Structure 1
Amino acid sequence: MFRLKLNSISRDNYHYRHSVLFINTGKRRLGSTMEIVKCQHILKLIFILLQCPFYMKADCSRKQFEVLPPGYNIFMQIGVKPFYPPRNATDRATCFTFCALMTFCHIWTFDNGNCHVFHSMKDKLRVEKLDSPSSTTYYETEQDDKWLKVYFVKRGSGFHTGDSFLGIGTYENWGPVKCTRILCPDLFRSNLIDNWNDLPIKKVKLIARKDNNTVVRIVFNGEGSTKENWFSMSRVLESPWTDLKTAPCNVFTIRNSSVLFITSHNILCLLTFLFVCALLWIHRNFYISSTHGGCPYDSGWLMVTKPIHYCSYESNGLYPQILHSGNPTYTRWSTGYEWAEDFSIFISFK
């Protein structure tokens, strides 16, 4: 049970502070503070009007929302019923509260007194260019930055990463469906991925973590990209490997579904075990490879495995596995690699 109390800022009340917030070059306006009480936890909501972000802090959780670039707004596809019905809202603070209390809400739009709260995984969304002061879309960010998470998968969850990211098939085809109305611990896919071409994307960030520490961070140029081609060597801006741009690279792909590379090392394999060799190349996703020469000689920087595998380092009974080079350069997979516990993709806007 929630209790909402809205108060105005007062110099005589120690609960509220007069302050000016800055972010990049924009000065923040003063706003109002809302408090929500749930059981023993007190959540503090700081609401800043118009182009300012929203914040929610709690003992065990925190939500922060930023404004989508001016002129861009998110709405439901025409003729499609939303998971959460629109609500009347007198101000953005009310709309923010509706979204902040819902696990699957990471995007919301305040449109001329109407609050559109979206289910990030189930709603079919569209991007509308509408430069109107009465319409504003907000998206959830993390860690005091402006990155929006659009994808997440856990190691060993059983999900197909390439298909699920690109939206090929359905949840039933991607792996075990463990999501409920309030919990989806192993997979998250924002439907904004399907609106990729219509969003003013500036950069894309790929993060792999282990023990809550980032072990792989790759940043890509996302301007003018699609959901298929952002993951490419020509778009890499930052990576943890010093040789990624200089060493040989024969595969750089999200979904390596029909690629078979022939090198001097695997000609014999191709002549004798063509089908087995083909399986090797077909079933690796988010794959950045340097050389192929059969399992003992394959080298590269990153791979996310699928259930069908060929080499011993892919076959520990868990998929997807998130394997990466722990060196400053590429690794030979058969002699050394590191693994990550989860894998996320973020986008930022211009």
Structure 2
Amino acid sequence: MASVGIYCILVFFMLLLGDINPVCGILEKKVGDWQMIYRARSRNGQSVVNSYMKQGVASEQTETNPRCVSVNGRDQCRTNYRHSMIDRWDSSGVQKVRLELYKEGELVAHVVFNGKSTTSTSWFSKENVLSSNWFDLKEPNTEEGKQFSFFGYSNNDIDRRLYINKHWKGGCSFHKGWMVVVEGLARGNGCNYEVSLSYPVFLYTPHTYADFYGDFKREADVLVISVIANRVNAV
């Protein structure tokens, strides 16, 4: 009971900052019309795709740590945050979806998607892009190896997810794009830019245009997915 009391005190102070749901025992974050439905931290050993897709997980009902909805990577949380609304996507009336990348609490990249008539993964497509800090994201792309996929490219050696790629053919030095979530890499395989001691890593270009991954090698520490929807919580 003491832990619940402490949590409620934290809720009160965070409520003053307009951060989370005022109902004690429900952990949610809403900023304006945007409701957070997923939050992942880099290098925590947990697959972004698998935790996002894991049906039945309702972090807003079971998690009591406010750090789990923080955009600052220093606020560590033992699990990725997953709102149960993801399981009710079809009945939630999703209007827009926003993907954000943060580094030390600062927003470093974002893409806003049209969420109407989409599924919990199909919103992640070039056709649905409404706006982004990457101004060339919607430009025609006829280069070989282009990717714009939630599930990305995966085989026994490499796992590249939430992959927005402009060019892939010709070897690692020619890999060019906007962002990729690297979930794993077999020893001796993959490219130097995606080698890490721990996974997942969230790579992004800091420019307003696609660039060679090997050149920019920037890593965010928090990935957030939020929605504007008619109904986020179950009735």
Q: What TM-score do the two structures reach when normalised by structure 2? A: 0.76
Counterpart of 2:72? none
245-254 or 283-292, which deviates more? 245-254
Letter paired with 1:208: L
Match of 1:192 in 2: 85
Change (3 A) 1:316 1:202: same
What is the aligned partner in structure 2 of residue 286 from structure 1?
162
Flag the 1:201–1:38 CA change in 2: closer, same or farther, 3 A. Answer: closer
**Counterpart in the other structure of 1:317:** 197
* Superposed CA RMSD: 3.3
What letter is aligned with 1:287? Y
Structure 2 partner of 1:349: 229
Q: Distance in 2 between matches of 1:200 and 1:39?
A: 31
Give the letter for the 2:204 counterpart: H
Write the distance in 1 (CA, Å) between the matches of 2:140 and 2:197: 31
Unaligned runs of 5+ in 2: 69-76, 231-235
Quickly say closer, same or farther: Cα 1:181–1:300, change in 2 above 3 A.
closer
Matches within 5 A, 1:154-165: 154-165=41-52
Where in structure 1 do 4 or more consecutive aligned residues deviate above 4 Å? Answer: 36-44, 61-65
CA contact (8 A) 1:221 1:230 kept: yes
Determine whether 1:142 maps to 2:30.
yes
- Give the structure 2 partner of residue 251 of structure 1: 147
After TM superposition, give the deviation of residue 199 of structure 1 in Å.
0.7
- TM alignment of 1:125-274, pairs within 5 A: 140-143=28-31, 145-167=32-54, 182-183=64-65, 185=77, 186-248=79-141, 250-257=146-153
Identity among equivalent pairs (%):
26
Is the contact made by 1:163 and 1:169 (CA closer than 8 Å) also made in structure 2? no
Number of residue-to-residue matches in the alignment: 207
Note if contact 1:147-1:348 (Cα within 8 Å) is conserved in structure 2.
yes
Q: Deviations over 1:298-334 (max 9, x none)?
A: 1000100112251111112121110011111101011
Equivalent pair of 1:331/1:337 in contact (CA under 8 Å): no
- 1:229, distance to aligned residue in structure 2 (A): 0.4
Q: Does structure 2 conserve the Cα–Cα contact (< 8 Å) formed by 1:304 and 1:322?
A: yes
Is 1:298 paired with 2:175? yes
Amino acid in the other structure paired with 1:224: S
Q: Name the amino acid aligned to 1:288.
A: I
Change (3 A) 1:279 1:334: farther
Q: 1:147-166 deviations in whole A, cap 9, x for unaligned?
A: 11111111111111112212
Q: Which residue of 2 aligns with 1:326?
A: 206
Alpha-carbon distance between aligned partners in 1 of 2:167 and 2:149, rounded to the nearest angstrom:
14
Counterpart code for 2:107: T
**Per-residue deviation, residues 148-195 of structure 1 (Å, max 9, x unmatched):** 11111111111111122122798xxxxxxxxx8633514101121011
Aligned to 1:27: none
Distance 2:18 2:114 in 1: 28
Tell me the distance in 1 between the aligned counterparts of 2:46 and 2:91: 27
Structure 1 residue 343: Cα displacement: 0.2
Higher relative contact order, structure no. (Cα contacts within 8 Å, ≥ 6 residues apart): 2
Distance in 1 between the 2:48 and 2:221 partners? 14
1:98-128 per-position Cα deviation (integer Å, ceiling 9, x unaligned)? x3x32xx14xxxxxxxxxxxxxxxxxxxxxx
Residue 15 (structure 2) aligns with: 56
Larger radius of gyration: 1
Contact map agreement 2:7 2:64 (CA 8 A) in 1: no
Q: Which has the higher helix share?
A: 2
Q: 1:337 to 1:288 in 2, by over 3 A?
A: same
- 1:337 aligns to 2:233 (yes or no): no
